[in-house]
A and B are shown apart, each in its own frame.
Chain A
Amino acid sequence: MLTYTLQRFGLALITIWAISVISFVIIQLPPGDFVDAYIASLSASGSMVRQEEAQALRQLYGLDQPIWVQYWKWASRVAQGDFGTSMEWGRPVTEVLGDRLWLTVAVSLAAIFLTWGIALPIGIYSAVRQYSMADYAFTLIGFVGLAVPNFLLALIIMYFGFVLFDLNVGGLFSAEYQLAPWSWGKAKDLMAHLPLPALILALAGTAQLIRIMRANLLDELRRPYVATARARGLAEWRVIVKYPVRAALNPFASTIGYLLPFVVSGSIVVSLVLSLPTVGPLLLRALVAQDMFLAGTIVLLLGVLTVIGTFISDLILMWIDPRIRAGIHG
C-alpha cells in the first residue's frame, strides 16, 4: 500500500516537473526574450526604458545565462509563488489570476460530479435492461455527446437559449454580483449559474463512462455469484446494487485520471464561448497578446492542479478498492 502511494506520488512529481518544463518552453517560444517584449510594451505606452535598466532586468532573470540556468531561476521563483509580471496588465500574474483559477476548479469539479451523476444510473440501467429501447436511446445520446465538440454544444445551447427563452446564458454571476466581494448571495448566485456550463462539459465525458459502466456491470451480472444471490431469494434490487455494482464501480473510479484533464481542457473552450470568468478567456488573450508569463503560468497551474486532482483520485481509488491496497493489479 505504501509502495503504491509512493509510486503514484513519484509519478505525480515527475509529471509536475514535465509540465513545468513545457510551460517554460511556452514562455520562451516567442522570438526575442521577454525583456524585449517588456521594453516594446512600455515604449508603446510612451515610457522609455534606459539601457542600464534593461540590462538589470536581463540579469535579474538570468537571460544572459544558459537556458537551463534560466529554467532553474524561473522554477525556483515559481516554487516560492512568484510567477512574474503580466506584461499586458502590468501587475503580478497572481493578482491578474485572482479568483479565476478557483472558478475554473469549481466548474471542472461540478462537471465531473455531474458526469458521474449522469453516467452511473444510466450505466446501471443500460446494463440491467440491455438492448431495451431506453438502452439504445441512451447510447445514441451518449454518442451525440461524444461527437459534438464542447464549444459547439455551448454555441447551440446559447443560441436556443436566446431564441426560445430570450435568455443570455453566458457568465457565472448575475450582473449585480460580478464585481461584488464574496458573500453568501454571491455564492448562491454562482451555484445557480454553475449547472449549465457543467452540464455542457459533462455531456462529452458521459458517453465513455456509460459504456465502461455498462460493460463492467454486464461482465459482473453474468458471474455465478449473482445467480446464487438470486437463487437465494434476494430482492432483485439488492442483488444488483449490493455486489455487482460495487465490483463494477472500481474501474469506473479509476477513469477520473483521464476525465480530469479532459474536463479541464474542455472548460477552457466552453468558458470562452459562454464568457465565464475562468482562466480560459484569460489564457487565450494572453497568448494572442504574447503575454507569456501569464500564459505560461496558466498552463503550469492548470497542469499542476490536474496532476494533484489525479493523485487524490488515486488515493480515493486505493481507499475503495481493496485489490489495489493489497498490491494486486487486476
Chain B
Amino acid sequence: MSEAAKADTPFVTAAEEKVAAATQLQLTWWRFRKHRVAVISGIVVIFFYLMALFADFLAVTGPHSTDAARSYIPPQAIHWFDQDGSFKPHVYALKGRRDMRTFKLVYAPDPSDRRYLKLFAEGYSYTFLGLFETNRHLLGLDRGVPEDALFLLGTDQLGRDVWSRLMLATRTSLSIGLIGVALSLFLGILLGGVSGLYGGVIDTAIQRLIEILRSIPTIPLWMGLAAALPSDWSVTQVYIAITVIISLIGWTELARVVRGRFLALREEDFVTAAELAGASRLRIIFRHMVPSFLSHIIAAVSLALPAMIISETTLSFLGLGLRPPAISWGVLLQDAQNLQAIAIAPWLLLVAVPVVIVILAFNFLGDGLRDAADPYG
C-alpha cells in the first residue's frame, strides 16, 4: 500500500500523517538517525573536518621548522597534576646530555624544569582561515617557545614536530578527497546520467568503458601517470594533478549508481505521470528524478571518499603523489617506510591512527546512508 493511500484512510495518527507528508530527504534523515554507529561515525567525520579547518590553530610549532639536534625525540608524557596535587598540566623540558660512549647528544626529560601548558598561547604566526594573521594556538607553554619543549607526538628525523605536521597533513589529505570526489561526481553524474537516460548504443559504449577501466589494476596505472608529472611543478600544481589522476578512475562506481537509479526511475509511475502532464525533460530530471535519488548519491559519495583518501595516501607513501614540502598523511608515512625507521622511531606509525579512524568512519557513515537512502524499503 502506498503512502498516499494510507494518508487517505480516515484513521491515521499524527505520526503517520507526518511520515506521509515528509519529503524524501526527511525520511532518509529519520531513518539514518536510528543507525547508531553511522551517526557516531558522522560526528567523527565532522570532527576531523573541523580539525582540518583549524589545523594551524591546533598545531603547536611551525610544521617546517627543523632542528637536526632534536631528531627522533619520543612522544612526551603530559603530567596532569602539580606536586601539591593541584590541576596544572605540564611537561618536563628536555635537557641535552652528551653520551660519553657514542658522543651523541641525547635528550632526557628534566623533572626540575617544568613547563606549564597554556591555552590560546602565542606561537608561530599563520593566517587564520585565510582571513587574518595571528599567532594564537590552542596549546602552548607558559615560558620558552614550544619548538624547544613541546613534542606531543615526538619528532621525526629532521626534528620536526609530528603532532603539528599531522594536523596540517589532515587538512591536505581530507581536502584532496573532497575535491577528487567532486570531480568524480561530476564525471559520474554526467556519464552515468547520459547512459541511463538515453540507453541504447551510448549506454552500451559507456558501460563497456566502465568495465574496461575497472579491469585495469589501478595502482600501476596511477604510478605511471603520477611519475610523469614534471618534477619542477609547484606543490599546488602537483596537488591538482594528483586529484585529477585519482578521480579519472574513481568516477566509474558513481556512474554505475547514477545509471542504475536512472534506469529504475525511468519506469516509475510518477515519471510517466509527469511526462503525460507535459513536463519538459529537464523538469522531470531535476524536479522529480534527482530528489528521489539524491540520498543514493550522498551515500555513494561517502563510500567513494575513503577510497580517494587511501589512493592519495598510497601514492604519496610511494613517493609518487604529493612531494615534500607538501604535507599529507602519505608524505608523513613515507618517513616510516622501512623497518629501520620504525625500529628507531615507532611513534612515526601513530600517523596511521587517524588514517584508519577516518576511513572506518566514512565506511560506517556510507553504509548507514545507503541503508537510509531507501526509506520505503
A158 at the interface (CB under 8 A from B): yes
B167 at the interface (CB under 8 A from A): no
**A15 near B215 (CB under 8 angstroms)?**
yes
Known: A18-B212, A147-B359, A295-B227; 19 extra A-B contacts, CB below 8 A, are A11-B212, A22-B216, A26-B228, A29-B224, A149-B359, A150-B314, A159-B346, A163-B346, A262-B217, A265-B219, A284-B318, A287-B320, A299-B224, A302-B217, A303-B217, A303-B221, A306-B215, A306-B216, A307-B215
B-side contacts of A269, CB under 8 Å: 219, 314, 317-318
- A162-B343, A283-B220 given; A29·B228 CB < 8 A: yes
- Interface bits A233-274 vs B (CB < 8 Å: 1, else 0): 000000000000000000000000110011011101100110
A150 to B333, CA, bound (A): 13
A258 to B214, CA, bound (A): 7
> Chain A: which residue is nearest B340 at the CB level?
A162
- A152-B333, A152-B352, A156-B352 given; A170·B220 CB < 8 A: no
**B220 near A299 (CB under 8 angstroms)?**
yes
A28 to B359, CA, bound (A): 35
B127 at the interface (CB under 8 A from A): no
A151 to B224, CA, bound (A): 18
Residues of B within 8 A of A (CB): 208, 211-212, 214-221, 223-225, 227-228, 230, 306, 310, 313-314, 317-320, 333, 336-337, 339, 342-343, 346, 349, 352, 355-356, 359-360, 363-364
Closest 7 CB pairs of A and B: A29-B228, A287-B227, A265-B219, A26-B224, A147-B359, A264-B217, A147-B360
Most buried by A among B220, B230, B318: B220
**A143 near B349 (CB under 8 angstroms)?**
no
How many chain A residues touch B (Cβ–Cβ < 8 Å)?
A: 53
A178 at the interface (CB under 8 A from B): no
B-side contacts of A298, CB under 8 Å: 220
Return the contact of B339 from the options A14, A144, A170 (Cβ within 8 A): A170
- List 25 A-B residue pairs with CB atoms under 8 Å apart, sorted by A's residue number: A23-B224, A30-B228, A143-B363, A146-B359, A146-B363, A147-B356, A148-B356, A151-B317, A151-B333, A152-B352, A159-B343, A162-B339, A162-B342, A162-B343, A257-B214, A264-B217, A268-B217, A268-B219, A287-B320, A288-B227, A288-B319, A299-B221, A302-B217, A306-B215, A306-B217
Write the nearest CB–CB distance from B154 to chain A, whole angstroms: 15
A326 to B252, CA, bound (A): 29
- Interface bits A272-284 vs B (CB < 8 Å: 1, else 0): 1100000000011
Residues of A within 8 A of B (CB): 11, 14-15, 18-19, 22-23, 26, 29-31, 143-144, 146-152, 155-156, 158-159, 162-163, 168, 170, 257-258, 261-262, 264-266, 268-269, 272-273, 283-284, 287-288, 290, 295-296, 298-299, 302-303, 306-307, 310
A-side contacts of B360, CB under 8 Å: 143-144, 147
B-side contacts of A18, CB under 8 Å: 212, 216
Most buried by B among A22, A151, A290, A295: A151
A-side contacts of B342, CB under 8 Å: 155, 158-159, 162
Interface secondary structure of A, over-half rule = helix
B-side contacts of A162, CB under 8 Å: 339, 342-343
**A144 near B224 (CB under 8 angstroms)?**
no
Return the contact of B216 from the options A19, A151, A272, A284 (Cβ within 8 A): A19
Write the nearest CB–CB distance from A328 to chain B, whole angstroms: 19
A82 to B294, CA, bound (A): 51
**B215 near A266 (CB under 8 angstroms)?**
no
A156 to B224, CA, bound (A): 27
A261 to B213, CA, bound (A): 10
A262 to B342, CA, bound (A): 27
A287 to B364, CA, bound (A): 36
A257 to B218, CA, bound (A): 14
A23 to B320, CA, bound (A): 17
B-side contacts of A151, CB under 8 Å: 314, 317, 333
